[in-house]
Chain A
Amino acid sequence: MTEFSALLTSILTITLQAGTSLTYATLGEIYTERSGVLNLGLEGMMLLGAVTAFATSYYTDNPWLAVLVAIIVGGLLATVHAFLTVTMRANQVVSGLSITLFGTGMANFLGQRLGPPEYGGNLVGLVAESFRPTPIPFLSGIPVLGALFKQDILTYGLYILIPLAWYYLYKTRNGLNLRAVGEDPQTADAMGINVFQVRYLYTIFGGMLVGLGGAHLSLAYAPGWTENITGGRGWIVIALVIFAMWNPARAILGAILFGGINAVQFRLQAAGTTFPAAVLNMLPYLLTIIVLVIMTWWEALSKRVGAPAALSKAYMREDK
């Protein structure tokens, strides 16, 4: 029995570690999409957040400053997306994709330039100050669930952020305005809400959280910088937003699911399984497709509130 509970504890621990960056980014994208802006640039934004955070921490030994830098970088890239899609009314899909293209290239470029000259500017393989698990006394002693309290500080941040994000979206005036803009910008505008301002604001806010998610990867989950450290997480997050049905309170579910896959993968590999690695590596992507199928099917069946009605539609005031 103790052995089983130890196994559960370790799976839960890894699940939360792996799920933290996903959850931050999911929360960010939920807010962005709620304003009617679809941002497909997450993969590039997470990567750029991860590399700038790692470099900052390497030079300053201050992981907090590193997180701040990643948040700013995510916010800046999101500003570009907001400018292109809200002001210039560019196609949101294409704009997001090009942000990913740019962000991926830029992150890999910086990964080869930001390092110290004696390593040829390379950041790969360096060690920087990172966030280590800080167990909370007493609480971390609880069997199995104690794993919740053996995490790093960024994961604890989620325990506060998720209820806050939920409360803000559903129980405050600003949250109502945000949802109104995503559902029906014309009406929101008529009610005196500044649609452009709201879209800019939450696209940038969402981008900041995405950058933070990237920082968690390079500062806590897998401390260090490797090219393509996100491994497609930016794309998985977009599926997780659908899985969460644009509700911050459900953002954690997807993270648990996908973090859980990582954990199981990790355990299986550690146990020396004969399963081909390729099949294991395909699992998260296969599961994403399955999740998408189930969610779209369920949404259609139960006629529940799904995507914001104005998602990925540019708003044109003069065309009212």
Chain B
Amino acid sequence: MKQSIWGKILILIGAVVGALLVGALLLLIAGANPLVAYRAMLIGPLSSRYGITEALVKATPLLLVGLGIVIAFRSGILNIGGEGQMVIGALAGSACALALPDLPGILLLPMTLLSSFLAGAVWGGIPGWLKARLSVNEILSTIMLNSIALQLVTFMLRGPLIDPQEIAYGTGFPQTAQLPEQSWLPRLIPRTRLHWGFVVALLLAGLVYVFLWRTSLGYRMRAVGAQKEAARYGGIQVENSLVLAMALSGGFAGLAGMVEVLGIHHRLLDGISAGYGFSGIVAALFGQLHPLGTIPAAILFGALTLGADMMQRAVEVPAAIVLTIQGLVVLFVVGSDVLMRRPDFLKRLLGKRMMPIPEETSQEEVPS
């Protein structure tokens, strides 16, 4: 028995409402009025052109990272390294743009994006290779590579890549010089920060869907994710599939980092990943690990992130509460997951003591 799509959406909404209710308790403890706070959070992003475009700005990196997560999780490997892959991608792309300031935009923009994709792919491919060849736990290696990447970028921003002006003025703020203007992603709507990166991300979502569900390579990767040993028995190169999945996943995260640079900041600075590497996982899971489902999920979480910022300003609570409520949302979504896979679960759980339930022989669906 499977839950219908509307049932699933209802459960997801229920999970969010549950998380917000617990969050309301925290807001009360913080001395804020939860009603005022949530009005700012839920209505704020929808009430103005600024709010809507800004929500999409935040959805862009979420979607790009999320697409990579979909590829990895569907292929049976967990990529927790989005943060590191993002900053490494942004580092490589920025270095590329800074090194070739005289190239016309039509060449420079694709080159920067490509180099960020490749750098992210390498950074994601390393744990993929370690997993495939040496069966090293990929969760741990990606998390360690996150820390290493952050240290590396901090070092580059304070040393070799620092803006010469920062040295000249003696301010020493850790950021690169502004990237050549022809490499910037143009604005989609004038006088907002919404840029073409969002459109690129939407197109890539379609591309990932076609890749995973309409090509034989994508099919093979999903086969490895669904049943590794069966896939191996069927003649699929499981190791290569894992490395490729992680490389693609890292590539998307690297791209997300560079799109942030080219679309918004126009230079590389500290903290560019801003937790997107983790919240992208949330968006992907929320989108049921489907590239097209990730689009509304990323927009929803983009709006929630922006709304949380607005809430924070409206009722003056610490920024960390945003992260806390996000964590609560995931916890509730994770907890409700079983309801989606087995609608009768709750009845069983509650009914256990009241009446005997006939044994069911159906196999649990393999969580993908």
Q: Interface-forming stretch among B117-125, B128-136, B213-221, B263-271? A: B128-136
Question: B320 and A101: CB pair below 8 A?
Answer: no
Interface residues of B in 157-174 (CB under 8 A from A): 159
| Size bin of chain B's contact surface | 35 or more
Asked whether A22 is an interface residue with its Cβ less than 8 Å from the other chain, the reply is no
Residues of A within 8 A of B141 (CB): 289, 292
Asked whether B334 is an interface residue with its Cβ less than 8 Å from the other chain, the reply is yes
Residues of B within 8 A of A288 (CB): 140, 144
| Size bin of chain A's contact surface | 35 or more
Residues of B within 8 A of A40 (CB): 139
Asked whether A102 is an interface residue with its Cβ less than 8 Å from the other chain, the reply is yes
Measured CB to CB, the nearest residue on chain B to A286 is B148
**Contacts known (A90-B337, A93-B78); A80 close to B148, Cβ less than 8 A:** no
Q: In the complex, how many angstroms separate the beta carbon of A49 from the nearest chain B beta carbon?
A: 16
**Contacts known (A95-B334, A98-B327, A316-B364); A293 close to B30, Cβ less than 8 A:** no
Of B137, B147, B327, B330, which contacts A282 at CB under 8 A? B147
Question: B140 and A98: CB pair below 8 A?
Answer: no
Question: A89 and B318: CB pair below 8 A?
Answer: no
Asked whether B24 is an interface residue with its Cβ less than 8 Å from the other chain, the reply is no
Number of A-B contacts (CB under 8 A): 143
Of A89, A95, A276, A292, which contacts B331 at CB under 8 A? A95
Q: In the complex, how many angstroms separate the beta carbon of A185 from the nearest chain B beta carbon?
A: 14
Q: Is the interface of B mostly helix, strand, loop or mixed?
A: helix
Q: Is the interface of A mostly helix, strand, loop or mixed?
A: helix
Asked whether A62 is an interface residue with its Cβ less than 8 Å from the other chain, the reply is no
Measured in the bound complex, the distance between the Cα atoms of B130 and A40 in whole Å is 20
Of A80, A93, A232, which contacts B139 at CB under 8 A? A93
Asked whether A226 is an interface residue with its Cβ less than 8 Å from the other chain, the reply is no
A interface residues with partner B (beta carbon < 8 Å): 40, 44, 80, 83-84, 87-91, 93-95, 97-109, 111-113, 232, 235, 238-239, 242, 276, 278-279, 281-282, 285-286, 288-289, 292-293, 296-297, 300, 316, 318-319
B interface residues with partner A (beta carbon < 8 Å): 26, 29-30, 78, 80, 130, 134-137, 139-141, 143-145, 147-148, 151-152, 154-155, 159, 278, 281-282, 285, 317-318, 320-328, 330-331, 334-335, 337-338, 349, 359-360, 363-364, 367
